Structures are given as C-alpha cells and as structure tokens.
Amino acid sequence: MKKLTMFLLVAILVLGASVIAGAVVVTLPDESQTTTFTATVAEQADVTVPATVTFTVNDVTTTTAGTGAVSATSIVLADTKTLKIYLQGDAASFTPPAAGGTTWDVGDVSWAAGAWTNGTGASGTLSNVAYNEVATSAANAPSTSSTITFTLAAKATADPAVKAGDHALTATWKFESL
C-alpha cells in the first residue's frame, strides 16, 4: 500500500512538473501575454456585365448609339494591383437576318473612354482577334464602374442595302487579374 502511494505521489509530482513546464508563469496582475489573430483574405471581386446592348437603327446611313453598364465591386486585391476590363467580338461580323446579307463588321462597333468611377477608361474598337482594353481599375480601388456608350458605325448608301430584322453579334467581357 505504501509503495502504491509513493508511486502515485511521484506520478502526480512528475505530471504537475511537466504541466508547469509547458505554461508561462506570470506574476499577477499581468498584461504581457498576447495572441496574434490572422485573417487570410483571398483576392476577390463582384462582377456585373450587361446581357445585351441593342442599337435602335432608324437610319443605317448614320451612327447609332447603345449603352450598357459594367461594374466590378467589392474588389480585394494585393497592394497596388489593378483589375483590367477588356472586350472582344466573337465573330468578324454580325449575323444578318438572311444568310449572305449585308451587315456590320465587328470593327463597326466602338466605344468612348467614358467616365469610370475609381478607374481609367480607354476608347476602343471591337475586334475578333484580340481583347481591347475598356478600363483599368485604380490601384487599391474597392470598386469601379461605368455606363459605356457604344457606337455602331454608319453604312454607306453605296453598299447593298442592309435588310431590316435581327443583326446579332456576341462579344465577351474579359476581367483580368494577370
């Protein structure tokens, strides 16, 4: 019985000593202990693009305007990085109402630099071989947005007549963080 009691006493002493060795002894009161909280925030953004831009063409021999709103909000990027916005047409020309009919080329669509919130706009012409710059967000900007005015070029009267109906083109907005 005596041996068991001695054994238990030694075990408690060793256990207590190891717990004490792993802890920090402070004299109360104490304000020296600190814990660092780290939040790892991924780069991210909310993006909104218009589904379509429609040109109401009442006179094919003059230019026609159409508008669409683009925005990137809740932008979180590493320090000084920016978000770039580009646009590229998916075909060399619009698809006319009837196959082989006269229509607009992709390069007949252009846009002005416009006024961008927290960003710099760039004027450009739509292309199907490269993404052309539309805007770059300001460094460390939390958001950037604009309503872009697109211009559809006039068709010369000497061309075969443009037929009334649906002329369609698809274009892709590119948001880049490269």
Q: What residues make contact with other proteins under the rule CB under 8 A? A: 42-57, 64, 66, 68-69, 74, 77-78, 80-84, 86, 90, 94, 104, 109, 120, 122, 124, 130-133, 136, 138-139, 150, 152, 166-178
Place of tokens 């939040």: 39
Minimum distance from CB of 113 to other proteins (Å)? 11
Closer to other proteins at the Cβ: 81 or 114? 81
Minimum distance from CB of 107 to other proteins (Å)? 13
Minimum distance from CB of 158 to other proteins (Å)? 20
Q: Is 133 in contact with 124 (CB distance < 8 Å)?
A: yes
Judged by DSSP in three states, 58 sits in coil
Closer to other proteins at the Cβ: 104 or 146? 104
Minimum distance from CB of 97 to other proteins (Å)? 10
Q: What is the DSSP secondary structure assignment for residue 162, as one 8-state letter?
A: B
